Amino acid sequence: MIGIAAPNIGSEEFDAVRKVLESGQLAQGPQVAQLEADFAAYCDSKFAIAVNSGTAALHASLVAAGVGPGDEVITTPYSFMATLNCILMVGATPVLADIDLATYNIDITKVAAAITPKTKAVIPVDLYGQPYNYDELRAVCEPKGIKIIEDACQAVGATYKGKKAGTLGDLGCLSLYATKNIMAGEGGIVITDNEDYARILKEFRQHGMSAQYEYVRLGYNYRMSDLHAAIAIQQLKKIEAFNQGRQKNAELLTEGLKDVKGLVLPVVAPDRTCAYNLYTMRATPEFALERDDFIAKLREKGIGAGAYYPKPLYAFQHTAKFGRAENFPHAETAATQVVSLPVHPLVSPKDIQTIIATIQELA
Ligand SMILES: *Cc1c(COP(=O)(O)O)cnc(C)c1O
């Protein structure tokens, strides 16, 4: 099977983990501090705070931005559930705005229309690895004091006008989950230039502790271990090579599939680069096969295709009150038509040719 994702692990990661095990210092320590310094340098940001998942990064960011009960947070109905769950975790109300079908990111006109006096923050998602249009979003949010929390969990290393994903809002959240562009198994990073936010984030990940056994707020155990940090330090050194591999594979897929009837291939909007955590296209009704059948046939032939995501975020019991299908036609279309193909750097040129030939045959 040509898998949809695979961790890319070299001897450097093995050696780094062994060294930490030998050191006897396994919990948050010098490796985490090193990783934070490396991420801040890589993103050209003042602070990078490590936590133990992208979800924890989002939760902590909302707390740092002062979002709580009674506040509204505008976000997309088309993402991984963590994007919406983090809003519920702080007791705020999610307000969903439909997506733009060209980029699968939130539609800026729908964001503007959804703003009320209660709107405290917007969470745009750099879906599949493509940064959102942050100049447009800032123009809408800044005059009203609305904070931007960038969900860049799929976009580590992508850029918008030369700036790194994660630095494009007031706070940016990255994930180091096993299927992301660089990984630690599990892990997350919050990027910010704001010193107050950085302090709150550090307190929040450690039971609200400001100094040894002094607790200034509610917090959690969201600390990253030095074992995970040691892996991520090595992965971060390879990020440009990894992402170039993804971009090269995406180019080859687009070149090979551009004439297939009924497929809408991914496009990268101006002023940005895409990290291609996923290569996602749409199989429209003009395509030879219905979407689920298409994915099943690809999988039968050893190609790990998948639907990311098969349902919008309001289609579940705990979220149903936040949206109804008729108000989100683009999210509905995406959910029924998307197909993601393997694009990660361990997918070889020969694999890419197999994928293209298989799809041409099915078409
Ligand atoms: C992976 C992901 C998250 C959550 O990250 P975890 O590290 O798995 O908690 C949040 N948002 C998006 C868009 C993601 O893809």
Dump pLDDT digits (tens) for 204-231.
999 999 999 999 999 999 999 999 999 9
Q: Can 120 be counted among the known catalytic residues?
A: no
Q: Which of 163, 180, 311, 321 is catalytic?
A: 180
pLDDT the model gives residue 190: 98
Q: Is the CB of 76 under 6 A from ligand 1?
A: no
Query: Ligand 1 pocket check: which of 4, 123, 125, 154 to mutate, most ligand atoms within 8 Å of Cβ?
Result: 154
**Is the CB of residue 79 below 6 angstroms from any atom belonging to ligand 1?**
yes
Name the percent of the chain lying above pLDDT 90: 100
State if residue 146 touches ligand 1 by the CB under 6 angstroms criterion. no
Nearest-atom number in ligand 1 for the CA of 179 is 1
Pairing of strands 119-123, 72-75: parallel
| CA of 79, closest atom in ligand 1 | 13
For range 143-164, the mean pLDDT:
98
Using alpha carbons, select from 164, 179, 70 the residue that is nearest to residue 117. Answer: 70
From 62, 76, 80, 181, mutation site for ligand 1 pocket: most ligand atoms within 8 A of C-beta: 80
pLDDT digit string (tens) for 266-322? Answer: 999 999 999 999 999 999 999 999 999 999 999 999 999 999 999 999 999 999 999
Residue 63: per-residue pLDDT: 98
Residues 6+ apart with CB under 8 A from 27: 223, 225, 226
Ligand 1 pocket mutation, candidates 51, 58, 173, 177, criterion most atoms within 8 A of CB: 177
Tell me how far the alpha carbon of residue 54 lies from the centroid of ligand 1, in angstroms: 5
- Domains by residue range for the chain, with CATH: 11-236 (3.40.640.10), 242-362 (3.90.1150.10)
CA angle 84, 85, 89 (to 5 degrees): 125
CA dist 297 and 290 (Å) reads 11
Ligand 1: residue whose CA is nearest its atom 14: 153
Residue whose CA is at the smallest distance from ligand 1 atom 10:
82
pLDDT attached to residue 292: 98
Q: Is 128 in the pocket of ligand 1 (CB under 6 A)?
A: no
pLDDT-above-70 percentage for the chain: 100
Measured in angstroms, how far is the CA atom of residue 78 from the centroid of ligand 1?
13
Rounded to the nearest angstrom, the distance between the alpha carbon of 153 and the centre of ligand 1 is: 5
**Residue tagged 């990661």 (tokens):** 13
At residue 118's C-alpha, the angle toward residues 113 and 119, to 5°, is 55
Element (H, E) at 294: helix 291-300
Rounded distance between C-alpha atoms, residue 344 and residue 3, angstroms? 9
Contact partners, residue 19, CB within 8 Å, separation at least 6: 230
Instruction: Establish whether residue 119 lines the binding site of ligand 1, counting it when its CB lies within 6 angstroms of any ligand atom.
Output: no
| CA–CA dist 6, 3 (Å, integer) | 7
Q: Quote the CA–CA distance of 71 and 204 in Å, as a whole number.
A: 20
C-alpha of residue 259 to centroid of ligand 1, in Å: 33
Ligand 1 and 95: CB distance under 6 A: no
Q: What is the mean pLDDT of residues 134-148?
A: 98
In contact, 201 and 192? CB cutoff 8 Å: yes
pLDDT single digits (tens) 26-83: 999 999 999 999 999 999 999 999 999 999 999 999 999 999 999 999 999 999 999 9
Instruction: Name residue, tokens 């959804």.
Output: 114
For residues 298 and 213, what is the distance between their CA atoms, to the nearest angstrom? 55
**Mean pLDDT computed over every residue of the chain:** 98
Q: pTM score, two decimals?
A: 0.98
